[in-house]
Amino acid sequence: MDITIREADLAAAADAAAIVMVLDSYATDPIGGGRPLASDVRERVVPALRDHPTALVLLAFVGREPAGIAVGFFGLSTFRARPLLNIHDLAVIPRYRGSGVGTALLHAAEKRALGRGCCKLTLEVREDNAPARALYARFGFEDFVVGNSAPTRFLSKALPLGES
């Protein structure tokens, strides 16, 4: 299978459409919540990514067809005083799952992280997403542990949307 990975051109209409299509495909999947992206999110996501100073958006194509996406954000490891890359979203269109698209996206993200001097890649994954967990384990991801402590959990708190 001919898989091509490249950074998205966030100003190009074709790439914007591919980003929304792949993200929406994941959102409608039961593991992604089972509901399509809201229309306002579909309109705002690409401009928001374009305006975010540390965003990295990688698109995967099989031939000319969008097959997957990795959306990451560069951050900082204070314990290492070096940058890191958090892969916030990794999604593959269902018909391409298991074909190497996810692995290719991870390799491309790692290459860009190394090029920026990052000390690590981070990501979050649902406990019940066995295929994704297996992919990440094969790629070398493991639970984050500080010293001899228990694994660290990723927590979230929704904030109200309003005028600031």
One DSSP character per residue, 1-49 reads --EEEEE--TT-HHHHHHHHHHHHHHHHSGGGTSSPPPHHHHHHHHHHH
Q: Which tens digit of pLDDT belongs to each residue from 87-138?
A: 999 999 999 999 999 999 999 999 999 999 999 999 999 989 999 999 999 9
Rounded-to-integer distance, Cα 99 and Cα 102, Å: 8
Q: Which pLDDT score is estimated for 146?
A: 76
Q: Which pLDDT score is estimated for 66?
A: 98
Higher pLDDT, 163 or 141: 141
Rounded-to-integer distance, Cα 154 and Cα 45, Å: 23
pLDDT (average), residues 4-15: 98
Domain ranges of the chain: 3-139
Q: Which tens digit of pLDDT belongs to each residue from 17-74?
A: 999 999 999 999 998 999 999 999 999 999 999 999 999 999 999 999 999 999 999 9
Q: Which pLDDT score is estimated for 149?
A: 79
Q: Which pLDDT score is estimated for 136?
A: 95
Number of H helices, E strands in the chain: 4, 5
Nearest Cα to 6, choosing from 46, 56, 52, 44?
56
Task: Provide the pLDDT confidence category of residue 162 given band limits of 50, 70 and 90.
Answer: low
* The CATH number fitting domain 3-139, selected from 3.30.465.10, 2.70.98.90, 3.40.50.1980, 3.40.630.30: 3.40.630.30
Nearest Cα to 19, choosing from 94, 70, 80, 75?
70
